[in-house]
Structure 1
Amino acid sequence: MEKTNSEADILVTGCYAEARDDLIQIMAEEPRLVPHFHLCLQSGSDRILQSMRRRYSRQGYLQRVERIRRALPFPGFSTDVIVGFLGRRRRISN
């Protein structure tokens, strides 16, 4: 990107399973990058996330969002939420 003189905004897409600190820093330092993060939540229940074999927890997700919000003044977020995952009980406490 350093070699281009483009004035265009660049949107990096994809589901960032882990918004690493180096990616967050690059997004904060490069004004041509649109500060948007697609973070797959999929469920707010740690039990469901474990049964889905996800490598993150609800708390880890929230910490990731907070790291991004500290580094960037106005980040954008989008997510995926799965409703009715097989194996889910009728009522889950968290």
Structure 2
Amino acid sequence: MMHIPGQVALIIQSGKEQLLYISNAIMHPLHIEHTDWQTNYDLDHEKAKHSRIKLLELAHREDMLVNAFHFDFPCLDRIDKRKGTGEWNWTYG
């Protein structure tokens, strides 16, 4: 489905706050802005791209905090769309 077969994403909830742990589905914050960029670790590039977009849409729609394994500390933040462009944006802090 995503990065490799069997890869999972987790939704963790406490009260009204939700965290989306995307594991290795997105390897670097730049991949949020450039969903078409691939890594050699993606076994199926097209499925990986579509999975990343679905996760970004979910995080944005539900206003979730996002955490990814390979992002630098502090790696908790929200996904947003840049005004007028429709491009995804990762903002620290």
Task: Give the shorter-chain TM-score range.
Answer: 0.3 to 0.5
Please identify the structure whose Cα radius of gyration is greater.
1
TM-score in terms of structure 1 length:
0.37
Considering fraction of residues, name the structure with more strand.
2
